[in-house]
Chains A and B, each alone.
Chain A
Amino acid sequence: SQTIHQWPATLVQPVGSPLSLECTVEGTSNPNLYWYRQAAGRGLQLLFYSVGIGQISSEVPQNLSASRPQDRQFILSSKKLLLSDSGFYLCAWRGSYYGYTFGSGTRLTVV
């Protein structure tokens, strides 16, 4: 069966520090991968998506970047965090079916 792993679950980082969030999918190959951000009490905003290794598309200009070094690995990064980067970050994948499967999320607090 397919599973998605996302870590860490929570993270508190100072302003100006780097960020690396990782997401991996098991049990499938060549999935579409997505990073969403959810601000407190709000909807889900698509940040990046990838349809294959090394293929990254950005939806919103921002302080973040994404990479897909392996077929089932998706990484969200920042060189210098801003206060506005705080939020709940969700990774998702889509295989042959239309629906997304989300990971459990990372709650990032920038202080």
Chain B
Amino acid sequence: GENVEQHPSTLSVQEGDSAVIKCTYSDSASNYFPWYKQELGKGPQLIIDIRSNVGEKKDQRIAVTLNKTAKHFSLHITETQPEDSAVYFCAASIIQGAQKLVFGQGTRLTINP
């Protein structure tokens, strides 16, 4: 089955700097890669996703890149703000049938003012 590894487990950056979180996946058949943000005591929220037919996707300060050959994808947050502090999860799945998302272990991002 699919296995997703996520690094780093914790990340601390100064406000205004950029943050990068990286994930690798094992199943070459996976073709959908979402990123979720989880604030304390809440359910995860989808912030951006990418399909395998696209190499990069951007939404304001957030971007995701995908390298299918190397089987890794990354989340980039620019001009970080205090409200970006949260736990971020990457995930991978195959878009068919039950489409079971397999999640990484999460990255606790702290933005220092």
Determine the distance from Cα of A6 to Cα of B102 in the docked complex, in whole angstroms.
21
Check A51–B97 contact: CB distance below 8 A: yes
Name the interface size band of chain B. 20 to 34
**Which listed segment binds B: A14-22, A62-70, A71-79, A95-103?**
A95-103
A90-B43, A102-B45, A103-B43 known; A46-B95 Cβ under 8 A = no
Determine the distance from Cα of A98 to Cα of B52 in the docked complex, in whole angstroms.
13
Check B100–A46 contact: CB distance below 8 A: yes
Tell me which of B43, B49, B97 contacts A98 (CB under 8 A): B49
Residues of B contacting A43 in the complex (Cβ-Cβ under 8 angstroms): 6, 89, 103-106
Which chain B residue has the least Cβ–Cβ distance from A57?
B98
Determine the distance from Cα of A92 to Cα of B89 in the docked complex, in whole angstroms.
15
Check A46–B44 contact: CB distance below 8 A: no
Residues of B contacting A34 in the complex (Cβ-Cβ under 8 angstroms): 100-101
> Chain A residues in contact with chain B, CB under 8 A?
6, 32, 34, 42-44, 46, 49, 51, 57, 59, 90, 92, 94, 98-105, 107
> Chain B residues in contact with chain A, CB under 8 A?
6, 32, 34, 36, 41-46, 49, 51, 89, 93, 95, 97-106
What are 20 A-to-B residue pairs whose CB atoms are below 8 Å?
Answer: A32-B99, A34-B101, A43-B6, A43-B105, A44-B103, A49-B100, A90-B44, A94-B99, A98-B32, A98-B34, A98-B49, A98-B51, A99-B34, A99-B46, A100-B34, A100-B101, A102-B44, A102-B45, A105-B43, A107-B41
